[in-house]
Structure 1
Amino acid sequence: MTAVAGVPVVVGVDGSRRSLDAVEAAAAEAVLRHRPLRIVHAFVWPTVGVAVSPGLAGPSLQAFRDQAEEILVEARQLATKVAPDTPITARILNGGPGQVLRDESRQAVLLVLGDRGLGGFTELLIGSVAVQTASHGACPVMVVRGDRHSAGPIVVGVDGSAVSLRALDHAVEEAALRGAELLAVHAWTGDAATELNDTLPISYEFWSGDQEEKRVLAEALAGVAQRCPDVPVRREVVRGSARRLLVEHSRTAQLVVVGDRGHGGVAGLVLGSVSQHLIHRAACPVVVVRPAPQDRS
């Protein structure tokens, strides 16, 4: 058996069905990466809005803590079934879900969340914890939604930006771990921009349409075959909507991997339109990759 060590895969749970799906996905990722698994539940003591006698306040509030413990027990039991040989820890952490998860991401190789929960970790809403965490997490964030396919390619959106190259590196790693094909997708709109880099200024002399777009993808993929010769790579350059194309590919993909925003994005804001659209619409899990610290402004 290969030794399990290093920075963990972290998964956030809130007791919802989708957060348990995230536990299964996180446990599988931990096995693939030979990493420990850390399960966390963010806990905020509820505010009691009515007068409660001192003798009842303690036991009444303790019930919420007991419920949190039960959530962790269920999640740990499920993770153990998926990854029986993987070291698993489970912790209740005091604080709001957004802050807890951002803190955890600093010590994680991958952070895994469901796409919706019980009003806690991952409601599918603009400004939800899932979107906030993917926007500000210090490690790649996997949002588990749709179906988890056991076969199919790892799909990555590429626009030539620094963060999309980091997304490509992560996608190559996922493909190698799973023995899957890598499908690198570059979509462009024909108006000197793509949806992934829709604010990139470009001169007429530099623009040459389809051939230039093929060059962008070819340069991004340069060296992948040498680094990972066992990963089959397919490339697709399409004039059209990146959001539509990536959602379409998600129906048969194991994962879709994207950067948090492409060329021209403003660091510190919420996700770009493509990554946010995928979190809401993809038919399989989505991994959002953030820039390296030196690439952030």
Structure 2
Amino acid sequence: MPANNQGPIVVGIDGSDNALHAARWAAAEAAQRHRELRLVHAMDDVSLSYPRPLPLSDDMSGILRMRGQRLLRTARDAVRDVDPTLTTHLELSHRGAAPTLIEESETAGLLVLGTWGLRPTGRMLAGSISIALAAHAKCPVALIRGHVAEDEPPTEGPVVLGVDAGPSSEEAIAFAFEEASWRGVPLVAVHAWDDRFLAAVFEETRHELHWPAVEDHERELLAQRLAGWQEKYPDVRVDRVVRRGRAAEQLLDLADHAQLIVVGSRGRGGFSGLLLGSTSQAIMSYALCPVLVARHHGGE
């Protein structure tokens, strides 16, 4: 994995079925790559002292500790169903989930989180912790949930990559090529451009917009962003897709038939929403396949 080829794969365990789905997905990834797997549970004493501190008795702390150990053992059993020979470590933290997992991300190759289940619309909603971790983690973050009817995440289909014009796609491109190579599947590189903004600008300036020229420019931009990567990964078949419209909508349309979608984040700014960008957040909230957010660190 481009971020840290030697780092372990870390899974956040919170006791939900979604976390078990994530642990099984991560176990398959770790087994394929001969990587260590770390299952981490945060007891999160902070949540018990909000909005004002409440003293925790030794009995309560002991109950939280036993619960955390039980959740980790359950996750370990789920992982063993995938590969009983996999090296797995259990970690119980007394801090909140976000600071614990951000610290884990400093040495991890990948941080894996389970997401909430299906909404009535057939989609899922990314939680605030997922968004915060995708924005601030030091390694790529994968969001995993069970698919329709509680099945495992899809293992068929291509890897879909979102490519924009800025540097935020650099880590995402590297990760997507490696994932496609590992999985032995095609890579669909998608670049979308929003024609409504350009149309409004040219309408205000009373200039005529030549759409074929704009589309040629966007195709050249995508070719430049992928330059060199196909030579580095000759085994990966790349399908270049350039579409007019909002990036999130175009990516989600293709992601419904993919086994993984990879997007980048800007990697600068203080607020998690600004840090990720609207496209990444939309993909995290509505994609029907696992989502991997590769954060760009160039702005730090």
Q: TM-score range by the shorter chain?
A: 0.7 to 0.9
Equivalent residue runs for 1:130-169 within 5 Å:
130-145=130-145, 147=147, 148-169=153-174
Corresponding residue of 1:196: none
Q: Is the 8 A contact 1:139 1:289 kept in 2?
A: yes
Q: Is the 8 A contact 1:135 1:268 kept in 2?
A: no
The 5 Å alignment of 1:1-40 reads: 6-40=6-40
SS at match of 2:155: coil
Measured after TM superposition, the shift of residue 37 of structure 1 is: 0.4
Q: Percent identity?
A: 39
Which residue number in structure 2 is paired with residue 182 of structure 1? 187
More helix by share: 2
Secondary structure, aligned partner of 1:229: coil
How many Å separate the matches in 2 of 1:231 and 1:145?
26
Is 2:44 the partner of 1:44? Answer: yes
> Could you say which residue in structure 2 is the equivalent of 1:64?
64
Alpha carbons 1:146, 1:282 under 8 Å: kept = no
**What CA distance in whole angstroms lies between the structure 1 residues aligned with 2:60 and 2:95?**
20
Q: Residue 115 of structure 1 contacts residue 279 of structure 1 at CA under 8 Å; is this kept in 2? A: no
1:85-110 per-position Cα deviation (integer Å, ceiling 9, x unaligned):
22110110121111111111101000
Partner of 1:240: 245
Cα distance in 2 between the residues matched to 1:136 and 1:209: 35
Q: Which runs of 5+ in 1 are unaligned?
A: 118-122, 194-203
Structure 1 CA distance for aligned equivalents of residues 225 and 85 of structure 2: 37
1:290 paired to 2:292: no
User: Cα deviation per residue 1:201-253 (whole Å; 9 max; x = unaligned)?
Assistant: xxx99x94101100111011111221111111101000012111111112110
Q: Which amino acid aligns with 2:183?
A: R
**Partner of residue 258, structure 2:** 253
SS in 2 for 1:28: helix
Equivalent in the alignment of 1:267 = 269
Displacement of 1:160 after TM fit? 3.0
Q: Where do residues 54-93 of structure 1 align in structure 2 (5 Å cutoff)?
A: 57-93=57-93
Q: What code does the residue aligned with 1:130 have?
A: S
Maintained 8 Å contact 1:146/1:283: no
Q: Distance in 2 between matches of 1:99 and 1:226?
A: 39
Cα gap change, 1:50 to 1:131, in 2 (>3 Å): closer
Cα drift, residue 65 of structure 1: 1.3
CA deviations over 1:162-205 (Å, ceiling 9, x no partner): 22021011000100111111000000012567xxxxxxxxxx99
Residues of 1 paired with 2:224 and 2:295: CA distance?
Answer: 20
Deviation for aligned residue 1:58? 2.6
Q: 1:80, CA displacement in angstroms?
A: 1.7
Correspondence for 2:150: none
Unaligned runs of 5+ in 2: 118-123, 148-152, 199-207
Match of 1:200 in 2: none
Cα 1:162–1:289, aligned 2, differ >3 Å: closer, same or farther? same
| TM-score, scaled to structure 2 | 0.82
Shift of 1:267: 3.0
> Given that residues 146 and 285 in structure 1 are in contact (C-alpha distance below 8 angstroms), is that contact kept between their aligned partners in structure 2?
no
Give the letter aligned to residue 101 of structure 2: L
Q: What is the distance in 1 between the residues matched to 2:77 and 2:126? A: 29
Cα displacement (A) at 1:260: 1.3
Q: Deviations over 1:132-167 (max 9, x none)?
A: 000011000001136321110000000132220210
1:231 aligns with one of 226, 236, 252 = 236
Question: Aligned with 2:178: secondary structure?
Answer: helix
Secondary structure of the corresponding residue to residue 209 of structure 1: helix
Q: Secondary structure at the match of 1:184?
A: strand
Off by >4 Å, runs of 4+ in structure 1: 47-52, 123-126
Question: What is the SS of the residue equivalent to 1:243?
Answer: helix
- The offset of 1:257, in angstroms, is 0.3
Q: Which moved more, 1:29-38 or 1:176-185?
A: 29-38
Give 3-state SS (helix, strand or coil) of 2:195's partner: coil
TM-score for both structures, normalised by structure 1 = 0.83
